[in-house]
Structure 1
């Protein structure tokens, strides 16, 4: 049969490879971490073995080599995929692993210029936004896209490959950093990071995509499961992007962007709640080349978000720029992330 298989699939693997893969299954079950040997994992492997068994039995019945071609082609690929998805991605080495802390914050993409949409969910690992990259090339999704009761950040069985960060200038179509979000009982990890381009339009897609560039050098973080789940739950429940401070900031952005030339010689970057003072908001402005910026801190009056935003916008637009109170300079390194400021866009209010 080995010779017949080689003739049936001359450019493919041999029947000996198929048999070796099958014989290794008990070995995988014995050496895998107990947390990954689940009924679902075993069921996936059984389902991958069924068509192989059927094709080989059919060949023994009618000697049609097409059955061997199907077994050694799609059948073997499906078996390898099932083994990889169930076991291959999760062997992080012997523990114990040092758990890292997850913190989730709302913010603005760290670019010089005008964001396509904001706020975004910033992911901090031990206090650092490690997924942003050395040149701050990547940023988070809008929080409504990745938080909530079924948040993609929460591990599932089977594990999902989640796009955690997207290209800060071009959005998900131009690049996503994706990893499997996997539950290990007392710990949660993000494993097998890949860079995908033109694949994701949302944090998760079905089925989990194959391929991607694995040469991005991101070390899989390992989190304490209780702290991790509590943080995702906290931010999902608070829904700060729907609360009054962010709604006021987005309305302020909308009012200021209605007249692009009113802030001349400055160009609108964004508006956001002040990070330290309640009732205050910060408006970031840039020059035409995104080399030099100015932050104006505004005090909001009382009333609805619409009224407060309108009052702040009117005060900024009616006072000459050299008389603006509470200003401070800011500067970002100009790079490929700088967005043209003459093509203006508004923040995402929802």
Structure 2
């Protein structure tokens, strides 16, 4: 996503590359300005990873103005201010524009917006992301994180030619089932560690990256 401020495209001038709209608008619009400052990554390294390099905006509403201040890789030597009414109208417009969504993006948005996150708490899990599997674009990947046990858990679903709404329904139906019933993969986030997550069922298999 490209962002222009006074005719300057700031994502290239900053870290080098705009964020995918998904990262800014799902599940909520990150660009909405409130009186409580929020920090939003608006640009990333040209390798595609924000962890490699990023431009962060601190967005704050003060009276009739919205202010952006820069952190890390600043595109300008100073912050910028916007008329609050104009800013709100534009942020609402782009937040409601879903023309950028591919079918898999639509499925991911529906899953992230509708998933019952409370169901994962007893198992100590939290949802990390949902998207096309970058290793196999024919699959839709849901990733979860087991914080206390330091495992990542992956569920994969065939995409095929089904509508994104049906794919999302299939994913949500599976996530509604007890984790032990899932057909899932996992790997440890601790180098050299062996073992399985405590909630793993018999159809869980290891994808140990440490060999």
* TM-score of the superposed pair, with normalisation by structure 2: 0.47
Give the structure with the higher percent strand. 2
Rg (Cα) greater in structure: 1
Give the structure with the higher percent helix. 1
